[in-house]
Amino acid sequence: MTHIDATHRADLRTWVPGADGHADYPVQNLPLCAFSTGDGVPRGGTVIGDYVLDHAALAASGLLDAEETELVTIAAAASLNGYCALPVAKRRRLRATLSTVLSGSEPVGAERLLVERKDAQFHLPAEVGDYTDFFAGIHHARNAGRMFRPDNPLLPNYKHVPIAYHGRASSVLPSGAPVVRPAGQRAAHGATVPDFGPSTRLDFELELAIWIGGGNAPGETIPIERAGEEVVGFGLLNDWSARDIQAWETQPLGPFLGKNFLTTVSPFLVTAEALAPFRTAQHPRDAEDPEPLPYLQNAQDQASGAFDIQLEVLIATAAMREGGLAAHLLTRASTLDLYWTPAQMLAHHASNGCPLRPGDLFGTGTVSSPAPDGHGSLLEMTKGGREPVMLPNGEVRTFLEPGDEIILRGRCIRPGFATISLGEASGIVTA
């Protein structure tokens, strides 16, 4: 499953100005995107330093052979769904092609291949046909569960099955989309009669976005042995949550209007191939935990199917921005604390014959670490709103207020390899 090759070499250099040693997008990263310029028509590209390599321009440049041109043309489309449908061998070939072009000698007419990032507008990487949000952050599950079941925070099924709910694909939007406070039915704690109005307990959730290949027909499954190859790429995902609406509506069928008003996703698809050096063993289960059922159990996936990605959440209130203050770090967490691997989530999703399609999106569920400074939501940080968070400028928050900006970031660090970033997913609460 781990496939480290010449594209990951730490000493690789590029002719793109300023991209060598770039803090986020060096030549070892090469995230894919859908972007547009003045004409507003989206097309595919590769982010490199402070530029975007225009796939359409590269395909027309004459620098590539026929197979390479075909692959780059697929990745030059208005969305990356065609790329997501490629088998893993062709995805690797495309990465090798892009790496060779960018790390070789500067080609004649190189300036025609690049667009400055500041001049580009970024769209969703792929058209999302279906979006599923998992609940794989066990520390978040425990923290939230304790608020309702102090003596038994995890329900009996949690350690047996990757829990998830189906979200609303139409409200998945790229980073920067405004966060419009939702209205809905809400009830005070313990009340049996609701009222209707804007949410007063608006929250964020720190999640990893997983982009899917899929392609199984209805009734077919995707066995765990090959599920990892159907995990195409990663990003950041904010599952904005109206906690008061959510609490009232969730019983008995689960989240609905408290979740589906907006899901923010980072605009770059960091490929599974780019993350090969940051694969690691899945965290061992506690001795008393059940073994996964056979359809979720695979030795190779347990040995290298997890990812070491460092995540963080920052807040910038309207007052902070007006005062010229930097965004404040709220929390840090790690994807090593997820209870299920991406392959296990995918294999379970398809285990009943549910057809997955290229470009489908998974959220991992809120990623929280065991320590109090690693909570992935305000619900956890404030213990349900009972213990406000103090900000450096003297403001306090239990839940989000108008003008608050939430910024999610992700980074991969390993000695001997270039550090790469998953970018940002951000949004400002409008009211």
Q: For residues 2 and 347, what is the distance between their CA atoms, to the nearest angstrom?
A: 18
Percent of the chain's residues with pLDDT above 70: 100
> What is the tens place of the pLDDT at every residue in 190-227?
889 999 999 999 999 999 999 999 789 999 999 999 99
Instruction: Calculate the CA 354 to chain-centre distance.
Output: 22
Q: What percent of the chain has pLDDT over 90?
A: 93
Nearest Cα to Cα of residue 133 among 364, 376, 339: 364
Total residue length of the chain: 431
Cα dihedral across residues 270, 364, 183, 256: positive or negative:
positive
Given 8, 123, 140, 349, which residue is catalytic? 140
Model confidence at 1: pLDDT above 80: no
| CA 48 remoteness from chain centre | 19
What average pLDDT is seen over the chain?
Answer: 96
| Residue type present at position 6 | A
Which residue has tokens 């804007």?
A: 198
Whole-model pTM: value is 0.97
Calpha distance 319→108 (Å, rounded)? 49
Q: Is the pLDDT of residue 149 over 90?
A: no
Match 């290229």 to its residue by tokens: 358
Dihedral class, residue 199 (left if φ above 0, else alpha if ψ from -120 to 50, else beta):
beta
CA atoms of 243 and 205, how far apart (whole Å)? 11
List pLDDT tens digits, range 320-349.
999 999 999 999 999 999 999 999 999 999
Secondary structure in 3-state letters for 89-103: HHHHHHHHHHHHHHH
Handedness of CA 398, 399, 402, 406 (dihedral sign): positive
Alpha helices in 104-238 (DSSP H): 138-148, 224-227
Which residues contact residue 120 at a Cβ distance below 8 angstroms, ignoring those fewer than 6 apart? Answer: 35, 36, 37, 45, 52
> Quick check: is 8 catalytic?
no
**C-alpha span between 255 and 249 (Å, rounded):** 7
Collapsed DSSP state (helix, strand, coil) of residue 406: strand
Task: For residue range 47-85, list pLDDT tens digits in order.
Answer: 999 999 999 999 999 999 999 999 999 999 999 999 999
What the chain holds in terms of domains, given with CATH numbers, is 6-122 (2.30.30.230), 131-428 (3.90.850.10)
Rounded to whole angstroms, the Cα distance separating 210 from 252 reads 27
Q: Which of 335, 134, 91 is nearest to 229 (CA)?
A: 91
- For residue 310, what are its two tokens? 């460092």
3-class SS of residue 213: coil
